[in-house]
Amino acid sequence: MRSIVLLLLAAPALAAAPPDTAAPTTEIKVDQVGYLNSAPKVAMVSSKTAGTDFTVRSAKGAVTLRGKLAPPVDDPDSGDRVQAANFSRLTKSGRYYLEVPGIGRSWEFSIGPEVYSRAWYLAMRSYYGQRCGIAVDLGPEFPGYKHDACHLEGAYHASSGKTGPYPNRGGWHDAGDYGRYVVNSGITTGTLLWTFEMFAPRVKNVKLNLPESGNGTPDILNEIRWNLDWMLGMQDEDGGVWHKQTSEQFCAFIMPEKDRLVSYVIGTGSEPFKSSCATGDLAAVMAIAARVYKPFDAEFAAKCLRASERAWDWLDQHPNVTFRNPAGVGTGGYGDGDCSDERLWAAAELARTTRGDRYQRYFLEHYSGYLKSIRPTQPQSWANVANLALWTYALDSGGDAAAVAAIRRDSVAAADQIVERSQSNGYRISMTSRDYIWGSNSVVANYGMQLLVANALHANPHYVETALENLHYLLGRNTFSLSFVTQLGANPFRHPHHRPSGADDNPEPWPGLLSGGPNRGRQDPAMQKLAATLPPAKMYLDEQAAYAANEVAINWNAPLVFLLAGVSGGK
C-alpha cells in the first residue's frame, strides 16, 4: 500500500463543506458494485486539473473519511493521467460515494461482506436468458424479459455429409447471435463447472429461479446442464463432435422465436466432417461433468463419461481436423488451427475423473510442451485451453509429483509477474496494451481467474487482491466510469449487440451480461468511426452496432462468474 495520509474526521468538521449534490462525474471512477470490508479500496480520479484531496461520504452525505490523492501517473493504455484515492481504512458496511473538490462526486457504491452476491446472481442467471429451445421468462423481477421457444427445427447441412432433419434442441445462444458453437461451449461450461468445483460452499445454495429450481440439484448445475445436454446431442455416432449448429448467415435483430432460418448442424465439408477442437472440448467438459454431477444424478454422470471416452477415442484417430466455415456459411467460425491443447485438456480431465492409465500416460508424455502457456500474458481463451489442462492436473491431489511441482512453479511465477505488472498499471489491472482485443473484458476476467487458480495452488493474498482489482475495472473503475455488466451498478453500459435486447420492448438490455469491451482491432463499421490513434483502452463504443466491442458472449460471462465467486470468500 502507498503511504497516503488518511484522516478520520471528527464530527464537527462535517458542517464545513456541504455535500456535492450534482450529478456524478465520469472523472471519478469507482467499483459501482463495491468493495469487501477488509480488502484494499481504491478509486481512480482522472481530470485535466490534478486534485489534491478527496472525501468519502455516506449516501446520506455525512463525511466518513478524508484522504489525499496520490500523485498522478500516466496510463498509456487509456491516455489518462490517473490519481489513486485510497480509502482502504474505511471498513464499515454501508452505501457511500466519493467527492473531490473542484472535480465532483462519484456514483454510489457499497462496502459489505456480501457485496458481490447480487452481481454473481445476475451474471450466472444470464445463462438462463440465453437458453434456446424453450420459452424463457425472467419473471417478476424483470417483467417483460421473455421469449418464446425458439429454434425448434434443425437439419444436417450439406457440409456434414449427412442429410435430413436433426432438431437437436436446447443449449445456449452463444452471444448476441443465436448460433450454438461447441468450441465456445467448451471453455464456457468448463469454467462454470470449475466454479462449482472450486467454490461450491459459496455457490451451491444460490437459487437462480430456474424452471428446475428445487429439484435437489444446485441451480448452477441445473443451468449448466441445459447446455451440456445440447452438447451431447452434437456428438455423432462415431464419437466425433460437430463444430457448430447455426443458420448459414446471421439473422436480423429479431427475437429468437422469429428467427426461422434453418438451424443446421454444420460440418467441415469433407471426411471425417467433425472437428478435433470441438471433440477435444467436449471430451474435457464431459469428463468434468462426470465427477461433478455424480452425487446428484449418477446416471447422467455415467452418460457424460461414456461420451467423453468415445470422444477421446475419436481424437486418437483424428487429432487435428480443423474447422473453417464451408462455402455459403457466414456465421461464427471459432476456427482454431491447433487442437492439441484441447486434447491435452481432455486427457487431464479424464485422468482426474477416472485415474485411467492411458489418459495419465498421454498427459505425462505431452504436458511439458505446454508449460510455456502458463505465462504472465495471454491467459486462457476459447482458442487456448492448455492452462486449463495443466491446472486441472495440478489441482488434483493424485497426480505425478514432478508434473504437479512444475505446473505449480510456473503458475506462481506467472502470477507473481501479473501482480507486479498490475501494481504499476494506472488502473491497477493486469492488462497489457496488446490485450485490448475482441472480447478484451474476458481477458481481464481470465487474468482474474488465472490469479485465483494460482492462489489455489499456492495461497498468496496478493493474488486475490489483484484478482479483485481486475474485477473493479469491469464494474466501473475504468476510463469510461462504466460498469461493463448490464443492469449492474449505477452507470452500466446500455446498448449491447444482443438480439433480444435490441428486438424487445424493454428500455434496458437483458441483465447480467458482460460487454466484450475495448478492442483495438475495430473490426466493425461502427468502430471505424473511432480514430485509429486512440489509445487501446479507449477503443470502445456503447452502441448496438459495434459488435466488435459491445457484443456479449457466454465465454466472456463465464470467467466473470468464476471471479465473482472466487473473491467473495476474501472478505
Instruction: Give the DSSP H or E segment for 419.
Output: helix 401-423
Q: Does 87 bind ligand G3I (CB under 6 A)?
A: no
How far, in Å, CA of 19 to CA of 22, rounded? 9
> Which of 174, 336, 341, 524 forms a contact with ligand G3I (CB under 6 A)?
174
C-alpha cell of residue 257: 422465436
Tell which one of 56, 84, 119, 175 touches ligand 9MR (CB under 6 A).
Answer: 175
Give yes or no: 248 in active site. Answer: no
CB nearer to ligand G3I: pick between 29 and 499: 499
For residue 521, the partner it binds in ligand G3I, Zn ion, ligand 9MR, none, with Cβ less than 5 to 8 A by kind, is ligand G3I
Task: Pick from 47, 428, 551, 560 the residue near ligand 9MR by CB under 6 A.
Answer: 551
Q: Smallest distance, Å, CB 23 to ligand G3I?
A: 33
Shorter beta-carbon distance to ligand G3I: residue 423 or 523: 523
Q: Is 177 in the site for ligand G3I (CB under 6 A)?
A: yes
Residues 6+ apart with CB under 8 A from 55: 17, 63, 65, 66, 67, 98, 99, 100, 101
- Residue 132 lies near ligand 9MR (rule: CB under 6 A): no
Q: Which does 87 bind (CB under 5 to 8 A by kind): ligand G3I, Zn ion, ligand 9MR, none?
A: none
Stretch that binds ligand 9MR, among 4-12, 174-182, 421-429, 562-570 (CB under 6 A): 174-182
Query: Closer to Zn ion at the Cβ: 73 or 254?
Result: 254
219 counts as catalytic = no
How do 63-68 and 94-100 pair as beta strands? unpaired
Considering only 107-115, 212-220, 437-445, 467-475, which stretch makes contact with ligand G3I by CB under 6 A?
437-445
3-state secondary structure at position 86: strand
Burial of 529 (0-12, 13-18, 19+ CB in 10 A): exposed
Q: Which does 250 bind (CB under 5 to 8 A by kind): ligand 9MR, ligand G3I, Zn ion, none?
A: ligand 9MR
Rg of the Cα atoms in the chain: 24
Catalytic pick among 99, 177, 309, 336? 177
Q: Residues in the chain, how many? A: 571
Catalytic residue selected from 157, 173, 472, 497? 497
Count H helices and E strands in the chain, helices first: 14, 17
**Distance, CA of 448 to CA of 484 (rounded, Å):** 16
State which of positions 293-352 bind ligand G3I (CB under 6 A): 332-334
Q: What secondary structure does DSSP assign to 305-322, as a single string?
A: HHHHHHHHHHHHH-TT--
Give the shortest CB-568-to-ligand 9MR separation in angstroms: 31
Bridge pairing between strands 53-58 and 6-7: unpaired
How far apart are CB 249 and ligand G3I at their closest, in Å?
Answer: 12
Angle at 240 between CA 365 and CA 554, to 5 degrees: 90
Q: Verify binding: residue 176, ligand 9MR, rule CB under 6 A.
A: yes
Listed in order, strand segments (DSSP E) in 268-384 are none
CA distance 190 to 183: 11
Q: Where on the chain is the footprint of ligand 9MR (CB under 6 A)? A: 175-177, 250, 332, 547, 551
Q: What residue ranges bind ligand G3I (CB under 6 A)?
A: 174-175, 177, 179, 332-334, 381, 434, 437-439, 521, 523, 551, 553
Active site residues: 177, 497, 542, 551
